[in-house]
Amino acid sequence: DAYARLTGNIGVCAVTAGPGLTNAMTAIVNARMAEVPIIVLAGATSMILKGRGSLQDIDQQALVKSAVKSQTTLKCVKDIIPAILGAAKVAASYNPAPGPVFLEFPLDVLWPRSMAETMIASGGPSQRGLSAYLQRWYLNKYVDSIFGQYFEGSPEAAIPRPSSHKMVEVARPVASPSVVARVAKLLYKAKRPVIVVGSQAAQDVAHLGQLREALILLQVPVWVSGMCRGLFGTSSNSPQMVHMRGAALKEADLVIIAGTPLDFRLNYGRSVNAKATLVVCNSNKDLLKKNSDMRAANQYLHGCPSHFLRDLAMVVTRKSRKPAWPEWTATCREREAQREKEI
C-alpha cells in the first residue's frame, strides 16, 4: 500500500491461505477506499481437496468479493502470467478508480510438477482393477491439466517469458479544456476563492512538483488533506493554509474541491457557503457527484485533479489582468497567524 502511494506503481502483497487473508482484510478494504492499486496474492488448498476439510481451507473468494475490483483463482500454470498482467491493468485502471485485485493460487498450481505428481498422481490407489485404473488415469489427467506443456524438463522455448507479454498502459481521465477555461473565468471573477486538494491529486506522483508550482502560481488560499499533506514542504511562497478551513469555506464565493469527495470531512458539502460557486473535480466518476442531493456543485469535472489544477494555473496565468483576491489571501494568512498563537 505505502509503496503504491509513494511511487505511483502497483503494490503487491502475498499472504498465506485462510488466516493470512483474513488478517489482511482490513488493509485490503482500506486500499479499496483509498483508491490504491495493489495485487493481493493468496495461497489456497489444493483444488482437488477443496471443500474436504483441508488445512486453512475457507471460501476466500466470498470473503474478498466486496473489497476488491476483480478476483481470480488460478487453475493452470499457463494462466499465471496473463492473470497477473490482467490484474495489474484492472488494479491501475480508472473504472471507476484504482484499487485492489485478488489472485488465489492453489497449492497444486504452485508446486513443481514432480511434487504434484508425487502428492497427487502417485497418491492414487495401488490396487489393480478397473476402478483403481480409472482413478489413476483421472489423477494423471488432472496433473496434466494443471501443467500442460509447462513442466520440469520442458525445452526453454516452451517456458512462458514475461517479456513476451505486454502491459497495457492505463491513462488517467482528463477534464476537457473548455471546462477548465470555464473554471478559470469563474476564478477570475471571484473575490474570495478557496481550493481544497485531496489524496487523488497525489496519485499522479510524477507531477507532484508541477502541481505544487501550479498552486503557488495561482496564489489562491489552499487547504490540503490526505496524501497531499506535505506537498509544499517549507516553501516560503506557499499559499497553503493549515487552520480555519471551516471559516474560509463559509465565507468563500468560489470553492474548488479537487481530489476528495463531499463526505464527512466536508460535512457532506454543507461546510461550503450555500451561496458560493462550487466546483468539484474527481477522477472517480462514482464519487464525483457524491451527496449532490445535500450540496450540488455548479460545475463537475471528471478527471485527474492534479492535471486539472495544472491546466487551470496555465490558463489563469496567461491573463494579463491581475486577480482580485490578494486581500482575501491576506485575511486568511492573518487568521492563520492568530490561530497559531492560540495553540
First to last CA, the chain: 34
Alpha-carbon dihedral of residues 310, 315, 321, 324, nearest 10 degrees?
-50
Domains and CATH numbers, the chain: 2-113+144-164 (3.40.50.970), 177-342 (3.40.50.1220)
pTM (predicted TM-score): 0.86
Residue 49: partners with Cβ closer than 8 Å, 6 or more residues away = 57
pLDDT (0 to 100) of residue 165:
58
pLDDT (0 to 100) of residue 148:
72
The β-bridge relationship of strands 11-15 and 38-44 is parallel
Measured CA to CA, the distance from residue 66 to residue 33 in angstroms comes to: 11
User: 199-241: per-residue pLDDT in tens?
Assistant: 999 999 999 999 999 999 999 999 999 999 999 988 778 999 9
- C-alpha cell of residue 233: 514542504
User: 33-65: per-residue pLDDT in tens?
Assistant: 999 999 999 999 887 778 778 888 899 999 999
pLDDT (0 to 100) of residue 159:
56
- The size of the chain, in residues, is 343
Alpha-helical (H) ranges within 37-161 are 60-64, 80-92, 107-110, 113-119, 130-147
Q: Which residue has the cell 497525489?
A: 202
Helix (H, G, I), strand (E, B) or coil at 249: helix
pLDDT (0 to 100) of residue 202:
96
Measured CA to CA, the distance from residue 311 to residue 190 in angstroms comes to: 18
pLDDT (0 to 100) of residue 146:
77
pLDDT (0 to 100) of residue 152:
52
Please list the ranges in the chain whose pLDDT falls under 50. none
pLDDT (0 to 100) of residue 235:
76
Amino acid (one-letter) located at 7: T
Measured CA to CA, the distance from residue 27 to residue 164 in angstroms comes to: 33
Measured CA to CA, the distance from residue 233 to residue 98 in angstroms comes to: 27
